[in-house]
Chain A
Amino acid sequence: MVFVKAQTGPANIGDPISKFTVQYFDEQGNMTIRSDGSRAWRCNNPGNLHRSSYSMSKKRGAIGFAGDSSDEYAVYPDKKTGHEALVVMLKGSIYSPKTLRAAMEYYEPKKKDYIDIIVHRTGLNPERTIKSLNDKEFDDFWKAIEFVESWEEGRADFIDKKYISGVHKKRGIIFEYFVQNLQGGVWLKKEEAISLAQEGKLHAIVVHLKNGSAYLRPEHGAKPFELST
């Protein structure tokens, strides 16, 4: 499944706002909600890269961001892309000339023993520069960072988005929708279909009228609903 968009979802009941969920959307509009686990996992962002010009640039491939108002992180379509964002950052002009010690002080300025953990796990000399590391040493280095940042898988819930493939009309007004996904379909009354669309589980737009009633219309660019016989 390829995710093309992501956004913040509400935290689970009882969890603080900082434990926000992340909603991923694929090209069909289906939603996958990631909850629990570490933030790095929920955001497919093993380096915990904050939302920035760098992390959100087109080259880095972010598909959105998630967090609370003061603390938002880039969200990547998969772990590989998120990992690449970390690696490119470490190999870039800001980090690569720094020694491992200076780099980790920059990475997390208030945590004195970050470098101690890196050295303990890698055996690398903290006074060496990042750009002096060979491929194997560099791999050990980023693996240690991702370890400290914490990658813990949580729960992923898939919510498929259904389509309207037919309608029934009475006196020119739609009163039933045939709602289906890959597994099959079912006729739903207008109110039920509207409720499904309001929950974001149906490819349709809810239009509210001034008199308080509502109806569904196709999404932008989609074909009109077809009348079933």
Chain B
Amino acid sequence: MKKWGLHLLLPFSLLSCTQKESKPVNMDDLSTLKKEFLQQIHISNVKEGPFSFNYQFRTIFSSKEVISLFGTLTVHDRLPHGWQRYEGKTFCIVNDQYKEVALDDLFITEIQKEFLRKTCEAHLKKDPTSYFAGNEPLRTTLSQDDIRTFVMDDQYLIVIFQPYSVGGCGDGPFLVKFPFSDLQGHWNSLHPIHSLLKQATQSCAFTSSWDLKQFYEGLLEEHNQ
């Protein structure tokens, strides 16, 4: 299998916010976020440090036809733990140009969106660390607004939830993995990404690395064969 990797730490990403944010976090504008970070640490007490601003942007799936990236911004500019945001960006080739794919492109009807929401909610209710679990759940209903961030690999659509939206900040990222086979009939099957993904996976010219440990172990196994 031909595999080629891409591991990026680039200042390049998307608007990733929820309605619950007091100040929407525009991760496309890392320069402004850096300025805010510097302003904050000037007024924070030194005991709250050491301060840090970490942005990681890595490929989850990469092929010539489809590319999906996952970003994590972790900002420690105060006690007790600063703040964190996740982002997902997925592109596919349409008319020789990379076009960004949104969840609204993949789940177009209300029935499809509701399927996505309900399935995520049911999954989160089974997770004992989520806000939906326990004798005294903090939340009972998942909102469509919570479902914004996603990535794709060779087998799954992975929906990722922002810190504190469905569980405590330290326990994330909370996510729900949908095998593509489970989504048949529940999403927009006419979207070009489906055929492009199929093309990529059949050609074996791709990397898929949501689970980095598994990815590198797989490579080592190939070397040893």
Contacts and interface: CB of A to CB of B under 8 A. Distances in A.
B203 interface: no
A148 B54 CA distance: 24
A71 interface: yes
B75 to A, nearest CB: 9
B115 interface: no
B168 A38 contact: yes
A108 B83 contact: yes
SS class of chain A's interface: helix, strand, loop or mixed?
Answer: loop
Given A17-B212, A152-B129, A40 B170 contact: yes
Interface in A97-150: 105-114, 117, 147-150
B192 interface: no
A40 B172 CA distance: 12
A110 B168 contact: no
B48 interface: yes
Nearest to B22: A112
Interface in B71-108: 72, 74, 76, 78-85
A161 to B, nearest CB: 26
A48 B48 contact: no
B18 to A, nearest CB: 9
B78 A106 contact: yes
A50 B56 contact: no
A52 B20 contact: no
Contacts of B214: 14
A70 B52 contact: yes
A36 B164 CA distance: 18
Contacts, number: 126
A93 B79 CA distance: 12
Given A40-B170, A111-B22, A49 B129 contact: no
A94 B46 CA distance: 11
B178 interface: no
Interface in B139-178: 163-164, 167-173
B23 interface: yes
B184 to A, nearest CB: 24
Most chain A CB within 10 A, of B56, B163, B171, is at: B171
Interface in A10-53: 11, 13-14, 16-19, 36-40, 43, 47-50, 52-53
A73 B82 CA distance: 12
B22 A147 contact: no
A48 B169 contact: yes
Contacts of B48: 52-54, 94
A140 B208 CA distance: 47
A117 B80 contact: no
B78 A54 contact: no
Contacts of A150: 129, 131, 167-168, 170-171
Contacts of B134: 152
B45 interface: yes
Given A53-B48, A53-B49, A111-B164, A39 B78 contact: no
A14 B164 CA distance: 23
Given A70-B54, A150-B131, A55 B80 contact: yes
Contacts of B222: none
A140 to B, nearest CB: 15
Interface of A: 11, 13-14, 16-19, 36-40, 43, 47-50, 52-55, 57, 70-71, 73, 86, 89, 93-95, 105-114, 117, 147-150, 152
Given A13-B213, A110-B163, 14 more contacts: A39-B170, A43-B170, A48-B169, A49-B80, A50-B79, A89-B80, A94-B45, A108-B164, A109-B82, A110-B83, A112-B22, A147-B138, A148-B138, A150-B167
21 contacts: A14-B211, A36-B128, A40-B170, A49-B80, A52-B76, A52-B79, A53-B46, A53-B47, A53-B48, A54-B47, A54-B79, A94-B48, A94-B79, A105-B22, A108-B169, A110-B21, A110-B22, A110-B85, A148-B164, A149-B170, A150-B167
